Structure 1
Amino acid sequence: MMQREIIDKLVSEVLARMRPRALVLLTAADGYHEIIRARLQHCQAFSPVILFSDNARQFHAETDWSLLGPITSLAEISQTGALDNIERVLIPFLDFATAAEVANGLLQSDAARFIHLARMSGRPIMALDYNCNPTSELNQLKGLSRAPQADDLPKLAAQGIELCTLDRMLSAQPATTEPLTAPPQAYVTLSELKRLNGRSPPGAKLTDLALEYSRGKK
Protein backbone atom coordinates (compact mmCIF):
# COMPACT_ATOMS: atom_id res chain seq x y z
CA MET A 1 0.00 0.00 0.00
CA MET A 2 2.83 2.37 0.90
CA GLN A 3 4.60 1.62 -2.39
CA ARG A 4 1.41 2.35 -4.32
CA GLU A 5 1.05 5.72 -2.58
CA ILE A 6 4.65 6.59 -3.47
CA ILE A 7 4.07 5.70 -7.11
CA ASP A 8 0.86 7.75 -7.24
CA LYS A 9 2.68 10.73 -5.72
CA LEU A 10 5.51 10.48 -8.24
CA VAL A 11 3.04 10.26 -11.13
CA SER A 12 1.19 13.33 -9.84
CA GLU A 13 4.45 15.28 -9.59
CA VAL A 14 5.48 14.33 -13.12
CA LEU A 15 2.09 15.32 -14.53
CA ALA A 16 2.24 18.63 -12.65
CA ARG A 17 5.62 19.43 -14.24
CA MET A 18 4.22 18.70 -17.69
CA ARG A 19 1.34 21.17 -17.33
CA PRO A 20 1.74 24.83 -18.29
CA ARG A 21 2.49 27.12 -15.35
CA ALA A 22 0.19 29.82 -14.05
CA LEU A 23 1.40 32.47 -11.64
CA VAL A 24 -1.17 33.10 -8.91
CA LEU A 25 -0.77 36.61 -7.48
CA LEU A 26 -2.19 36.89 -3.96
CA THR A 27 -3.23 40.33 -2.77
CA ALA A 28 -4.64 41.83 0.43
CA ALA A 29 -8.18 40.43 0.16
CA ASP A 30 -9.67 37.03 0.84
CA GLY A 31 -13.33 36.86 -0.17
CA TYR A 32 -14.37 33.26 -0.94
CA HIS A 33 -10.74 32.23 -0.34
CA GLU A 34 -11.42 28.64 0.74
CA ILE A 35 -13.57 27.84 -2.29
CA ILE A 36 -11.18 29.53 -4.71
CA ARG A 37 -8.10 27.86 -3.23
CA ALA A 38 -9.75 24.44 -3.39
CA ARG A 39 -10.73 24.94 -7.04
CA LEU A 40 -7.21 26.07 -7.93
CA GLN A 41 -5.69 23.12 -6.09
CA HIS A 42 -7.71 20.59 -8.09
CA CYS A 43 -7.44 22.33 -11.46
CA GLN A 44 -5.78 20.12 -14.09
CA ALA A 45 -5.29 22.86 -16.71
CA PHE A 46 -2.08 24.26 -15.21
CA SER A 47 0.38 24.07 -12.32
CA PRO A 48 0.29 27.10 -9.98
CA VAL A 49 3.28 29.17 -8.89
CA ILE A 50 2.40 31.39 -5.92
CA LEU A 51 3.44 35.02 -5.45
CA PHE A 52 2.55 36.87 -2.23
CA SER A 53 2.36 40.65 -2.62
CA ASP A 54 2.69 43.33 0.03
CA ASN A 55 0.34 42.45 2.93
CA ALA A 56 -1.11 39.30 1.35
CA ARG A 57 0.23 37.06 4.13
CA GLN A 58 -2.14 38.79 6.55
CA PHE A 59 -5.01 37.29 4.55
CA HIS A 60 -3.54 34.06 3.17
CA ALA A 61 -1.63 31.36 5.08
CA GLU A 62 1.58 30.39 3.32
CA THR A 63 1.25 26.83 4.60
CA ASP A 64 -2.10 26.47 2.81
CA TRP A 65 -0.95 27.92 -0.50
CA SER A 66 2.33 26.01 -0.57
CA LEU A 67 0.23 22.88 -1.12
CA LEU A 68 -0.70 24.21 -4.57
CA GLY A 69 2.83 24.79 -5.83
CA PRO A 70 6.16 26.55 -5.29
CA ILE A 71 6.23 30.04 -3.79
CA THR A 72 8.24 32.69 -5.62
CA SER A 73 9.16 36.30 -4.79
CA LEU A 74 8.87 39.56 -6.70
CA ALA A 75 12.67 39.77 -6.96
CA GLU A 76 12.89 36.25 -8.38
CA ILE A 77 10.02 36.55 -10.86
CA SER A 78 11.29 39.96 -12.05
CA GLN A 79 14.57 38.51 -13.30
CA THR A 80 15.16 38.37 -17.04
CA GLY A 81 13.37 35.38 -18.56
CA ALA A 82 11.60 34.38 -15.34
CA LEU A 83 8.17 34.87 -16.92
CA ASP A 84 9.03 32.91 -20.05
CA ASN A 85 7.71 29.68 -18.50
CA ILE A 86 4.52 31.31 -17.20
CA GLU A 87 1.50 30.80 -19.45
CA ARG A 88 -0.87 33.14 -17.63
CA VAL A 89 -1.18 35.33 -14.54
CA LEU A 90 -4.16 34.82 -12.22
CA ILE A 91 -5.35 37.34 -9.62
CA PRO A 92 -8.15 35.61 -7.71
CA PHE A 93 -8.42 38.24 -4.95
CA LEU A 94 -7.98 41.57 -6.74
CA ASP A 95 -8.61 44.23 -4.09
CA PHE A 96 -9.81 47.83 -4.36
CA ALA A 97 -6.38 49.36 -3.70
CA THR A 98 -4.50 47.29 -6.27
CA ALA A 99 -7.23 47.74 -8.88
CA ALA A 100 -7.12 51.52 -8.40
CA GLU A 101 -3.32 51.61 -8.65
CA VAL A 102 -3.20 49.63 -11.87
CA ALA A 103 -6.16 51.46 -13.42
CA ASN A 104 -4.52 54.83 -12.82
CA GLY A 105 -0.99 53.84 -13.81
CA LEU A 106 0.51 53.97 -10.31
CA LEU A 107 3.27 51.51 -9.41
CA GLN A 108 3.63 51.92 -5.66
CA SER A 109 2.82 48.40 -4.41
CA ASP A 110 4.50 45.10 -5.24
CA ALA A 111 1.24 43.88 -6.77
CA ALA A 112 0.90 46.86 -9.12
CA ARG A 113 4.55 46.65 -10.17
CA PHE A 114 4.26 42.95 -10.95
CA ILE A 115 1.04 43.41 -12.94
CA HIS A 116 2.79 46.15 -14.91
CA LEU A 117 5.71 43.78 -15.59
CA ALA A 118 3.35 40.97 -16.63
CA ARG A 119 1.54 43.30 -19.03
CA MET A 120 4.80 44.38 -20.65
CA SER A 121 5.82 40.74 -21.08
CA GLY A 122 2.55 40.01 -22.91
CA ARG A 123 1.24 37.44 -20.45
CA PRO A 124 -2.56 37.00 -20.29
CA ILE A 125 -3.83 38.38 -16.97
CA MET A 126 -7.11 37.11 -15.55
CA ALA A 127 -8.69 38.47 -12.38
CA LEU A 128 -11.80 37.87 -10.30
CA ASP A 129 -13.63 41.05 -9.29
CA TYR A 130 -15.50 39.73 -6.24
CA ASN A 131 -13.38 41.91 -3.94
CA CYS A 132 -12.95 45.03 -6.11
CA ASN A 133 -16.38 45.40 -7.74
CA PRO A 134 -18.73 47.51 -5.59
CA THR A 135 -21.75 45.78 -7.15
CA SER A 136 -20.63 42.23 -6.34
CA GLU A 137 -22.68 40.26 -3.85
CA LEU A 138 -19.65 40.03 -1.55
CA ASN A 139 -19.22 43.80 -1.33
CA GLN A 140 -22.95 44.35 -0.96
CA LEU A 141 -22.85 42.06 2.07
CA LYS A 142 -19.89 44.06 3.41
CA GLY A 143 -21.76 47.34 2.91
CA LEU A 144 -19.33 48.51 0.21
CA SER A 145 -21.83 48.69 -2.64
CA ARG A 146 -21.44 52.47 -2.88
CA ALA A 147 -17.65 52.46 -3.12
CA PRO A 148 -16.50 54.84 -5.89
CA GLN A 149 -14.04 52.40 -7.48
CA ALA A 150 -16.47 51.02 -10.08
CA ASP A 151 -14.94 53.41 -12.64
CA ASP A 152 -11.62 51.56 -12.33
CA LEU A 153 -12.95 48.30 -13.78
CA PRO A 154 -13.33 49.49 -17.41
CA LYS A 155 -9.80 50.93 -17.21
CA LEU A 156 -8.45 47.51 -16.21
CA ALA A 157 -10.24 45.88 -19.12
CA ALA A 158 -8.83 48.52 -21.48
CA GLN A 159 -5.34 47.54 -20.32
CA GLY A 160 -5.92 43.92 -21.27
CA ILE A 161 -6.74 42.57 -17.81
CA GLU A 162 -9.61 40.12 -18.19
CA LEU A 163 -12.17 40.29 -15.39
CA CYS A 164 -13.73 36.87 -15.54
CA THR A 165 -15.51 34.08 -13.70
CA LEU A 166 -13.70 31.39 -11.75
CA ASP A 167 -14.67 28.80 -14.37
CA ARG A 168 -13.12 30.96 -17.07
CA MET A 169 -9.97 31.47 -14.99
CA LEU A 170 -9.56 27.70 -14.62
CA SER A 171 -10.19 26.95 -18.29
CA ALA A 172 -7.58 25.18 -20.41
CA GLN A 173 -6.89 28.10 -22.76
CA PRO A 174 -6.19 31.65 -21.54
CA ALA A 175 -7.27 34.63 -23.58
CA THR A 176 -4.94 35.87 -26.29
CA THR A 177 -3.43 39.28 -25.64
CA GLU A 178 -3.31 42.33 -27.85
CA PRO A 179 -0.11 44.34 -28.36
CA LEU A 180 0.44 46.21 -25.12
CA THR A 181 0.77 49.86 -24.41
CA ALA A 182 1.91 51.32 -21.13
CA PRO A 183 -0.78 52.35 -18.61
CA PRO A 184 -1.46 56.10 -18.53
CA GLN A 185 1.08 57.98 -16.41
CA ALA A 186 3.13 54.78 -15.83
CA TYR A 187 6.88 55.11 -16.27
CA VAL A 188 9.22 52.33 -17.34
CA THR A 189 12.26 52.30 -15.07
CA LEU A 190 15.83 51.45 -16.06
CA SER A 191 15.66 47.99 -14.48
CA GLU A 192 12.37 47.21 -16.26
CA LEU A 193 13.81 48.41 -19.58
CA LYS A 194 16.83 46.14 -19.15
CA ARG A 195 14.53 43.18 -18.47
CA LEU A 196 12.85 43.98 -21.79
CA ASN A 197 16.25 44.05 -23.56
CA GLY A 198 15.92 47.77 -24.18
CA ARG A 199 12.56 47.51 -25.97
CA SER A 200 9.84 49.55 -24.28
CA PRO A 201 6.14 49.02 -25.07
CA PRO A 202 4.51 51.42 -27.55
CA GLY A 203 3.57 54.70 -25.88
CA ALA A 204 5.59 53.97 -22.74
CA LYS A 205 7.09 56.84 -20.79
CA LEU A 206 10.69 56.34 -19.66
CA THR A 207 12.39 57.65 -16.55
CA ASP A 208 15.45 59.83 -17.16
CA LEU A 209 17.87 56.95 -16.55
CA ALA A 210 15.83 54.61 -18.75
CA LEU A 211 15.71 57.22 -21.52
CA GLU A 212 19.49 57.68 -21.37
CA TYR A 213 19.97 53.91 -21.51
CA SER A 214 17.57 53.61 -24.46
CA ARG A 215 19.46 56.27 -26.42
CA GLY A 216 22.74 54.48 -25.72
CA LYS A 217 21.35 51.25 -27.19
CA LYS A 218 20.60 52.91 -30.54
Structure 2
Amino acid sequence: MEKVWLLVAVAASVLARAAAVELTFELPDNAKECFYEEIEKGTECTLEYQVVTGGHYDVDVLVEGPARQILYREIKQQYGQFQFTPDHTGTYQVCFSNEFSTFSHKLIYVDFQVGDEPQLPGVGEHFTAMTQMESSSQKVHENLNSIIDYQTHHRLQEAQSRKRAEDLNERVLFWAVGETLGILVIAVGQVMILKNFFADKKSNQAAY
Protein backbone atom coordinates (compact mmCIF):
# COMPACT_ATOMS: atom_id res chain seq x y z
CA MET A 1 0.00 0.00 0.00
CA GLU A 2 1.34 3.37 -0.99
CA LYS A 3 2.02 6.06 1.56
CA VAL A 4 -0.85 8.51 2.00
CA TRP A 5 0.03 12.20 2.01
CA LEU A 6 -2.47 14.27 3.98
CA LEU A 7 -2.72 17.71 2.33
CA VAL A 8 -5.94 19.30 3.50
CA ALA A 9 -7.21 17.89 6.78
CA VAL A 10 -7.68 14.66 8.67
CA ALA A 11 -10.43 14.55 11.23
CA ALA A 12 -11.21 11.17 12.78
CA SER A 13 -13.49 10.54 15.70
CA VAL A 14 -14.66 7.07 16.74
CA LEU A 15 -17.71 7.15 19.00
CA ALA A 16 -20.42 4.65 19.81
CA ARG A 17 -22.03 4.83 16.38
CA ALA A 18 -20.41 7.83 14.73
CA ALA A 19 -17.12 8.37 12.91
CA ALA A 20 -15.82 10.75 10.26
CA VAL A 21 -12.76 10.81 8.03
CA GLU A 22 -11.90 13.72 5.77
CA LEU A 23 -8.62 13.76 3.89
CA THR A 24 -6.85 14.53 0.64
CA PHE A 25 -4.19 12.14 -0.62
CA GLU A 26 -1.97 11.61 -3.65
CA LEU A 27 -2.61 8.53 -5.76
CA PRO A 28 0.38 7.63 -7.99
CA ASP A 29 0.02 6.19 -11.47
CA ASN A 30 -0.58 2.42 -11.70
CA ALA A 31 -1.53 2.44 -8.00
CA LYS A 32 -4.49 1.50 -5.84
CA GLU A 33 -5.31 2.81 -2.37
CA CYS A 34 -7.89 1.31 0.03
CA PHE A 35 -9.34 2.55 3.32
CA TYR A 36 -11.04 0.35 5.90
CA GLU A 37 -13.74 1.17 8.44
CA GLU A 38 -15.49 -0.99 11.03
CA ILE A 39 -19.22 -0.23 10.66
CA GLU A 40 -22.13 -1.54 12.68
CA LYS A 41 -25.36 -2.80 11.16
CA GLY A 42 -27.95 -0.11 10.43
CA THR A 43 -25.50 2.82 10.57
CA GLU A 44 -26.10 5.35 7.82
CA CYS A 45 -22.92 6.13 5.85
CA THR A 46 -22.06 8.73 3.23
CA LEU A 47 -19.04 8.70 0.90
CA GLU A 48 -18.10 11.80 -1.07
CA TYR A 49 -15.02 12.08 -3.30
CA GLN A 50 -13.51 14.36 -5.92
CA VAL A 51 -10.39 14.26 -8.10
CA VAL A 52 -8.72 17.62 -7.52
CA THR A 53 -5.80 17.43 -9.95
CA GLY A 54 -4.09 15.02 -12.31
CA GLY A 55 -4.61 13.61 -15.79
CA HIS A 56 -8.19 13.78 -17.00
CA TYR A 57 -9.49 14.21 -13.42
CA ASP A 58 -10.82 10.65 -13.20
CA VAL A 59 -10.45 7.66 -10.89
CA ASP A 60 -12.01 4.23 -10.35
CA VAL A 61 -13.97 3.87 -7.09
CA LEU A 62 -15.06 0.66 -5.35
CA VAL A 63 -16.94 0.09 -2.08
CA GLU A 64 -17.04 -3.49 -0.74
CA GLY A 65 -18.73 -5.09 2.25
CA PRO A 66 -17.37 -7.63 4.77
CA ALA A 67 -18.21 -10.55 2.47
CA ARG A 68 -16.46 -8.84 -0.47
CA GLN A 69 -19.82 -7.94 -1.98
CA ILE A 70 -19.71 -4.88 -4.22
CA LEU A 71 -21.89 -2.04 -2.95
CA TYR A 72 -20.70 0.71 -5.28
CA ARG A 73 -18.48 0.84 -8.35
CA GLU A 74 -17.69 3.69 -10.73
CA ILE A 75 -15.17 3.77 -13.57
CA LYS A 76 -13.18 6.92 -14.40
CA GLN A 77 -15.25 9.37 -12.40
CA GLN A 78 -14.22 12.92 -11.43
CA TYR A 79 -16.52 13.21 -8.43
CA GLY A 80 -19.42 11.40 -6.81
CA GLN A 81 -21.45 10.68 -3.70
CA PHE A 82 -22.75 7.39 -2.32
CA GLN A 83 -25.04 6.77 0.65
CA PHE A 84 -25.68 3.34 2.11
CA THR A 85 -26.89 1.59 5.26
CA PRO A 86 -25.07 -1.71 5.98
CA ASP A 87 -27.12 -4.85 6.59
CA HIS A 88 -24.24 -6.57 8.40
CA THR A 89 -21.66 -5.48 10.96
CA GLY A 90 -18.09 -5.77 9.76
CA THR A 91 -15.15 -4.14 8.02
CA TYR A 92 -16.02 -2.17 4.90
CA GLN A 93 -13.43 -0.95 2.42
CA VAL A 94 -13.32 1.97 0.01
CA CYS A 95 -10.77 1.66 -2.79
CA PHE A 96 -9.51 4.25 -5.29
CA SER A 97 -7.66 2.94 -8.33
CA ASN A 98 -5.42 4.78 -10.80
CA GLU A 99 -4.14 1.60 -12.41
CA PHE A 100 -5.40 2.63 -15.84
CA SER A 101 -3.04 5.65 -15.88
CA THR A 102 0.60 5.17 -16.89
CA PHE A 103 2.08 8.53 -15.89
CA SER A 104 -0.54 10.82 -14.28
CA HIS A 105 -0.64 11.23 -10.51
CA LYS A 106 -4.01 12.12 -9.00
CA LEU A 107 -4.88 14.26 -5.99
CA ILE A 108 -8.11 12.95 -4.45
CA TYR A 109 -10.35 14.41 -1.76
CA VAL A 110 -12.38 11.97 0.38
CA ASP A 111 -15.08 12.63 2.96
CA PHE A 112 -16.40 9.47 4.63
CA GLN A 113 -19.16 10.02 7.21
CA VAL A 114 -20.29 7.08 9.35
CA GLY A 115 -23.32 7.57 11.56
CA ASP A 116 -24.99 10.72 12.78
CA GLU A 117 -22.97 13.60 14.12
CA PRO A 118 -22.93 13.61 17.96
CA GLN A 119 -24.80 16.41 19.63
CA LEU A 120 -23.12 19.16 21.58
CA PRO A 121 -22.14 18.29 25.17
CA GLY A 122 -25.06 18.94 27.49
CA VAL A 123 -27.57 19.22 24.63
CA GLY A 124 -29.97 16.34 24.16
CA GLU A 125 -28.81 14.58 27.33
CA HIS A 126 -32.08 15.31 29.16
CA PHE A 127 -35.64 14.31 28.36
CA THR A 128 -37.15 17.78 28.63
CA ALA A 129 -37.43 20.21 25.76
CA MET A 130 -34.31 22.19 24.90
CA THR A 131 -34.07 25.70 26.25
CA GLN A 132 -33.75 28.69 23.94
CA MET A 133 -30.00 28.87 24.69
CA GLU A 134 -29.55 25.19 23.81
CA SER A 135 -31.56 25.58 20.60
CA SER A 136 -29.48 28.61 19.61
CA SER A 137 -26.25 26.74 20.37
CA GLN A 138 -27.35 23.78 18.27
CA LYS A 139 -28.31 26.07 15.39
CA VAL A 140 -24.96 27.87 15.53
CA HIS A 141 -23.20 24.49 15.56
CA GLU A 142 -25.08 23.35 12.44
CA ASN A 143 -24.36 26.63 10.65
CA LEU A 144 -20.65 26.36 11.46
CA ASN A 145 -20.58 22.84 10.04
CA SER A 146 -22.23 24.14 6.86
CA ILE A 147 -19.63 26.90 6.63
CA ILE A 148 -16.83 24.34 6.99
CA ASP A 149 -18.33 22.26 4.15
CA TYR A 150 -18.60 25.32 1.89
CA GLN A 151 -15.02 26.35 2.67
CA THR A 152 -13.78 22.85 1.89
CA HIS A 153 -15.49 22.78 -1.51
CA HIS A 154 -14.25 26.29 -2.32
CA ARG A 155 -10.69 25.23 -1.44
CA LEU A 156 -11.00 22.23 -3.75
CA GLN A 157 -12.28 24.39 -6.60
CA GLU A 158 -9.50 26.91 -5.99
CA ALA A 159 -6.85 24.18 -6.01
CA GLN A 160 -8.27 22.69 -9.20
CA SER A 161 -8.44 26.07 -10.95
CA ARG A 162 -4.92 26.97 -9.81
CA LYS A 163 -3.54 23.69 -11.17
CA ARG A 164 -5.24 24.25 -14.52
CA ALA A 165 -3.91 27.81 -14.67
CA GLU A 166 -0.38 26.58 -13.90
CA ASP A 167 -0.63 23.93 -16.63
CA LEU A 168 -1.89 26.53 -19.12
CA ASN A 169 0.89 28.93 -18.15
CA GLU A 170 3.46 26.18 -18.64
CA ARG A 171 2.10 25.34 -22.09
CA VAL A 172 2.08 29.01 -23.12
CA LEU A 173 5.68 29.34 -21.91
CA PHE A 174 6.83 26.32 -23.92
CA TRP A 175 4.98 27.59 -27.00
CA ALA A 176 6.58 31.04 -26.64
CA VAL A 177 10.05 29.51 -26.25
CA GLY A 178 9.45 27.34 -29.34
CA GLU A 179 8.30 30.35 -31.38
CA THR A 180 11.35 32.35 -30.25
CA LEU A 181 13.71 29.57 -31.28
CA GLY A 182 11.91 29.26 -34.62
CA ILE A 183 12.25 32.99 -35.28
CA LEU A 184 15.96 32.88 -34.42
CA VAL A 185 16.55 29.92 -36.71
CA ILE A 186 14.70 31.62 -39.58
CA ALA A 187 16.61 34.88 -39.02
CA VAL A 188 19.99 33.14 -38.99
CA GLY A 189 19.02 31.12 -42.07
CA GLN A 190 17.99 34.23 -43.99
CA VAL A 191 21.26 35.98 -43.11
CA MET A 192 23.28 32.96 -44.22
CA ILE A 193 21.33 32.70 -47.50
CA LEU A 194 21.75 36.40 -48.29
CA LYS A 195 25.45 36.21 -47.37
CA ASN A 196 26.00 33.24 -49.70
CA PHE A 197 24.04 34.99 -52.47
CA PHE A 198 26.24 38.11 -52.43
CA ALA A 199 29.38 35.98 -52.03
CA ASP A 200 28.48 34.01 -55.18
CA LYS A 201 27.75 37.27 -57.07
CA LYS A 202 31.16 38.72 -56.13
CA SER A 203 32.87 35.49 -57.20
CA ASN A 204 31.18 35.62 -60.61
CA GLN A 205 32.18 39.27 -61.13
CA ALA A 206 35.77 38.50 -60.21
CA ALA A 207 35.87 35.66 -62.75
CA TYR A 208 34.86 38.02 -65.57
Q: Please, what TM-score do these two structures have when normalized by structure 1?
A: 0.25
Q: Which has the larger radius of gyration?
A: 2
Q: Please, what TM-score do these two structures have when normalized by structure 2?
A: 0.26
More helix by share: 1
More strand by share: 2
If asked which structure has higher relative contact order (CA below 8 Å, sep 6+), I would say: 2
